[in-house]
Amino acid sequence: MKILVAVKRVIDPYVKIRVKSDNTGVETQNIKMAMNPFDEIAIEEALRLREKGWATEVVAVSIGGESSQETLRHGLALGADRAILVRTDRVLESLNIAKILKKIVDDEKPDLVLMGKQTIDGDNNQTPQMLAALLNWSQATNASKVNESTGHLEVTREIDGGLETIKIALPAVVSTDLRLNEPRYASLPNIMKAKRKSLDVIELESMGLSLKQHVEILKVNAPATRTGGVKVESVTALLNKLQHEAKVL
């Protein structure tokens, strides 16, 4: 079994982002970047499936600029066997990312694609479902438990009212929720070893895909800010404020 894991380089989740003054986007120059946290969980799950003997190869793939190589090296240091970068400086929407990934899947023929349920920058939560649709594969989104079996997976999904378990035939696309696992850290020897692992770079233009623009970003604004109010001295004062000033009780 071969697992493909799609990873994205995003602004580190603990960085407080700033909207650019010309409202074209968010400042990314000289800002700490990291692997999207949900994708780290996807890598971890793939490694665990390999450690159980279910999978034999874990391939990490990313789409983005030259610096996405660092993100892939991090994936290799965690334990992925090899990596592929689809290099492009274009800003891509989910549907086009799914189309690029479909091409990679057609070439690599994995049995399972693992991806984060959403990236913490776009917050879209779309690409795994779109990839599954383009491949006409089964999907299991928001996975918090994956039980492997021959020819299928039993996946527990986080849904609004609790949990849902479904059985999906392979090949399939599974997207990870936070609760799926606790990702490991890369050890120094593994970071060194990762430098020698194979990382293929494919230019997006060479893939022969016709990617149409479906959406135009008109502007990016900072949200209305909320300022702190007052600190009250006691529970009685709080209730008074809620009742007479805010009138919410």
Work out which of 30, 67, 150, 227 binds another protein, going by CB under 8 A: 227
CA distances from 16 to 29, 121, 125, 222, 227 (A): 13, 12, 21, 12, 17
CA 46 to chain centre: 14
244 contacts another protein (rule: CB under 8 A)? no
What is the Cα–Cα distance from 64 to 101, expressed in whole angstroms? 12
Q: Which of 32, 27, 35 is nearest to 7 (CA)?
A: 35
22 contacts another protein (rule: CB under 8 A)? no
Work out which of 138, 143, 194, 197 binds another protein, going by CB under 8 A: 138
Q: Which helix (H) or strand (E) holds 46?
A: helix 37-51
211 contacts another protein (rule: CB under 8 A)? no
**DSSP single-letter state for residue 26:** B
238 contacts another protein (rule: CB under 8 A)? yes
Q: Which of 109, 97, 105, 108 is nearest to 36 (CA)?
A: 97
Taking the complex as a whole, the smallest distance from the CB of residue 196 to another protein amounts, in Å, to 35
Work out which of 1, 33, 120, 191 binds another protein, going by CB under 8 A: 120
36 contacts another protein (rule: CB under 8 A)? no
Q: Which stretch binds another protein (CB under 8 A): 12-20, 62-70, 75-83, 192-200?
A: 12-20
Q: Which stretch binds another protein (CB under 8 A): 42-50, 69-77, 83-91, 217-225?
A: 217-225
241 contacts another protein (rule: CB under 8 A)? yes
- Within residues 148-207, the interface with another protein by CB under 8 A covers 154, 157-169, 172, 177-179
CB-based burial label for 82 (10 Å; 0-12, 13-18, 19+): middle
230 contacts another protein (rule: CB under 8 A)? yes
What is the Cα–Cα distance from 211 to 22, expressed in whole angstroms? 27
Pairing of strands 172-176, 112-116: parallel
Q: What x-and-dash track marks residues 77-116 binding another protein by CB under 8 A?
A: ----------------xxx--x------------------
122 contacts another protein (rule: CB under 8 A)? yes
Work out which of 16, 32, 52, 244 binds another protein, going by CB under 8 A: 16
